[in-house]
Structure 1
Amino acid sequence: MKKDWQSVYDMLTANSGFDYDKYRNCVTTNVPRVWETYLENHKWAAKWENEKLPHYEELYVIFWKDGAQGNRAKSFIEMEVEVNAEEQEQDVQGEETSSARNKKMKNMNKSNSMLKSFNDVVSLRADRLQKSSIESSEGIKFEMDLERKKAMITNALSKMTSMTQFERF
């Protein structure tokens, strides 16, 4: 999943004219020859011309930090840990003033708010992913049951000697 998401993410962020259609769950473009031009240097991307990637937005929330670059690529948890470490360090040194305390409180409130938002999004995405997984499992069970029943019919028909081959077919 991560490789597929990363491939689509790279296409969408390459300023190449691609968009993601969340209703059709696929990469799209309205720019002439964009696929051909992109595929000249990115042969691996050919499958995305006709293939869907459901849940791209949910996967974005899960995998984005790994795709981000630079020293600003931090998760909400890392940011909160950093704020807490700074606060402890300044407490130990005894250099904390009341305005610095206010700034830290604001930063912690922002961090807590961002962490709560992140947790809410992850929970929502996890619920949706679980529902999709259940639906897929039910579809697979239905297909397997259907195949079993087909085999039973074929077996039963082959045992009916009173019917011609054509009638059994």
Structure 2
Amino acid sequence: MLSRKNNSGFGWDEHRQLVVAEDAVWNSYISSHKEAAQFRHRSFPYYDQLTAIYAKDRATGKDAQTAADIIEEINVEDVAATNSHEERNDFHGSEADVSLDDMDLSATQPQPESQLARNQGDSAFSKKKKKISDVSDFSTSFNDAAALLAENIRTVGLEISKSITSEVVIQQKSEMTIQESALKLYSTLCEVEGLTEDERYRALSKIPDHPTQMLIF
């Protein structure tokens, strides 16, 4: 959608990382694709990273196909193969009365009908198997990327948790040190010569307001 000009009225908000469109465009699209309603206000913060991972595997242009397109094409090929087989049976039935003397067998030796049907069936099966394999490979790659992303998020979360815990421990130790110093402040003031009782209480009410100076004192 980002690389093509005809986006049916949809666009991409780089700042908010989400798909945008006029209300009329959204309402029209959701009316026929109800499952799309959940993405109207949902952002895709990892779009750029996933694009970088899958850029070489992404189909573009007129030949791009989704998984639904591939399954539909497989079903069409199955119907075409069946019709072709039936037409070939009708053709051989209509030609059954032709004499072998009237046919020129010198140019080529035709394969038996069973062999032709088997070859065509094998070809259709191979194509079907390859397409299903491509869909499976894409699904596996996407799941691997999602698992890797989840693991990275978990690792970052653990590191943040450790950092927060460490800061909390340091803060708690600092508060305990200040409290212990405050408890010792009066006895320390009593050791200072020349201070009256009033002066001690005045100092006791002022010094705790400045924890760093109290620790130095």
Normalising by structure 2, what TM-score? 0.41
Match 1:26 to one of 17, 21, 24: 17
CA deviation map 1:45-103 (0-9, x unaligned):
6633xx32536888xxxxx76xx6xxx89599x97xx89xx9xxxxxxxxx73332222
1:124 to 127, 141, 145: 141
Gaps of 5+ in 1: 1-14, 59-63, 87-95
Q: Which residue matches 1:11? A: none
The one of the two structures with greater contact order (alpha-carbon pairs below 8 A, sep at least 6) is 1
Q: What's the secondary structure of 2:18's corresponding residue?
A: strand
Pick one of 41, 60, 66 that aligns with 1:47. Answer: 41
What SS does the corresponding residue of 1:160 show, helix, strand or coil?
Answer: helix
The change in CA–CA distance for 1:123 and 1:39 in structure 2 (over 3 A counts) is closer
Query: Secondary structure in 1 aligned to 2:41?
Result: helix
User: Please, which of 83, 94, 106 is the counterpart of residue 123 of structure 2?
Assistant: 106
Deviation at 1:165, TM superposition (A): 5.5
Shift of residue 36 of structure 1?
4.6
Change (3 A) 1:99 1:167: farther
Aligned partners of 1:19 and 1:99: how far apart in 2?
Answer: 50
Secondary structure of residue in 1 paired with 2:131: helix
Separation in structure 2 between the aligned mates of residue 46 and residue 118 of structure 1, nearest angstrom: 26
For 1:140 and 1:75, the matched residues in 2 are separated by: 43
Contact kept in structure 2, 1:20 and 1:27, CA below 8 Å? yes
Contact 1:19 1:28 in 2 (8 A): yes
Larger radius of gyration: 2
Percent identity of the aligned residues?
13
C-alpha displacement of 1:119? 2.5
1:166 Cα deviation from its structure 2 partner: 5.3
Number of residue equivalences: 123
CA drift of 1:137 comes to: 0.7
RMSD after superposition:
4.3
Instruction: Give the aligned residue type for 1:47.
Output: H
- Alpha-carbon distance in structure 1 between the residues aligned to 2:142 and 2:16: 16
Structure 2 alignment gaps of length 5 or more = 1-6, 31-36, 55-65, 83-112, 183-207, 213-217
